[in-house]
Amino acid sequence: MTNPIAKKESHLRAVRWWLVFMAMLIAAMVLVGGATRLTESGLSIVEWKPVTGSLPPLSQEEWAQAFEGYKAIPQYREMNAGMTLDQFKTIFWWEWSHRLLGRFIGIAFLLPFLWFMWRGALPSDLKRRLWIIFGLGGLQGAVGWWMVASGLTERTEVSQYRLATHLVLALLIFTAIVWTLRRLSDRPPTLASIRLRVTSGILLVLVFVQLYFGALVAGLRAGRVFNTWPDIDGSFIPSADRLFFEQPWWRNLFDNTLTVQFQHRMMAYALFAIAVLHLIDALVSRANPAIIRGALWLALAMTLQATLGILTLLYEVPIVLALVHQGVAIVVLTLAVVQAERMTEGQSARQRQELGVAAG
């Protein structure tokens, strides 16, 4: 006879490992997407075929058709005219891999999810949360095509607005999974002061803002200009007429390469300062050791990320360094999510109890 408690623990472990795997897949997806952007590969597939597009061209004729489709868009005519078929295949494989990984993530999420529901391993609250995450994943696929479509007719690259939306949505899904994982962990409540809870929440919000700014920098190729530090355009703070020459003024925040890079730099400084203050506050107030460790790791990760950002800028965005910078950004986000969730008293224990009851 199966021990009910052992069954509950088995279900809990399975759900947690599944969510860990999903978080790792999404992190890999973000990095592959970054490589796709850096290699200018994102517009190499000019059709959206969610099912049949899973297969790459299998004959010389199919490769020729795919290449002809790429030749019809502005990016080929203005940037890659004269490209050979072999060169086209290189960028094609990056984009195809990115899309294939997206399809695999959808399957890797849905099938275990359905199995866990069939086994009665999920409480209603967790099921609702996971359905929302799955819905966001479906929306992400549509947003990805919406992004690609912006570069097929008049532009030589995708819209930086849509690129930033695509990235932030992916990281929002990643955050939801990490947060859910934390709620399923077996740990005692962690008490924290209101100030520590507020600063941890501010850090998480600002990390998302910074990731959005970073996507704008990538979309505008703004990292390939103003490659000096700590000055930018000849001074630490550029003149207002250089930062806000476009009308209306707010468009500079999204379209002006100088303004976009400058706000990315300033947000990095702000994040670093707040992370250090958060750590000092945790130490001075003698917070729970878990909170102190979380604040320390977050401050260290912020320091590393800022250093990588400076090096990426100074060396004019080499692919390897840029991908490491993006990878550490995911680490920073993960640590910020964990620290913010850690401040919510008692919720994880209750969630775990509910899961145990459902699994029985």
E strands of 230-320, at which residues? none
**DSSP-assigned beta bridge partners for residue 235:** 232
pLDDT band at 230 (very low <50, low <70, confident <90, very high): very high
User: Contact 223/317 with Cβ under 8 angstroms?
Assistant: yes
Average pLDDT over residues 307-334: 96
Q: What is the pLDDT of residue 177?
A: 96
Paired tokens of 133: 């995450």
Average pLDDT over residues 83-93: 93
Average pLDDT over residues 158-171: 94
Q: What are phi and psi of 286, to 5 degrees?
A: 50, 55
C-alpha–C-alpha distance, residues 273 and 265, integer Å: 13
What does the pLDDT look like over 170-209, one tens digit per residue? 999 999 999 999 888 767 667 778 899 999 999 999 999 9
Q: H-helix or E-strand containing 215? A: helix 194-220
Q: What is the pLDDT of residue 358?
A: 43
What does the pLDDT look like over 332-352, one tens digit per residue? 999 999 999 988 754 444 444
Q: In sequence order, what are the residues at sequence separation of 6 or more whose Cβ sits closer than 8 angstroms to the Cβ of residue 348?
A: 182, 183, 184, 185, 187, 189, 341
What does the pLDDT look like over 110-145, one tens digit per residue? 999 999 998 888 888 889 999 999 999 999 999 999
* Dihedral angle computed from the Cα positions of residues 49, 51, 57 and 59, in that order, rounded to the nearest 10 degrees: -120
Residue type, 306: A
**DSSP-assigned beta bridge partners for residue 232:** 235
C-alpha–C-alpha distance, residues 311 and 325, integer Å: 9
DSSP state, residue 119: T
Average pLDDT over residues 278-295: 92
Paired tokens of 20: 């860990």
Q: What is the pLDDT of residue 185?
A: 78
Average pLDDT over residues 32-56: 88
Q: H-helix or E-strand containing 202? A: helix 194-220
C-alpha–C-alpha distance, residues 151 and 222, integer Å: 18
Q: What is the pLDDT of residue 273?
A: 97
What does the pLDDT look like over 256-278, one tens digit per residue? 999 999 999 999 999 999 999 99
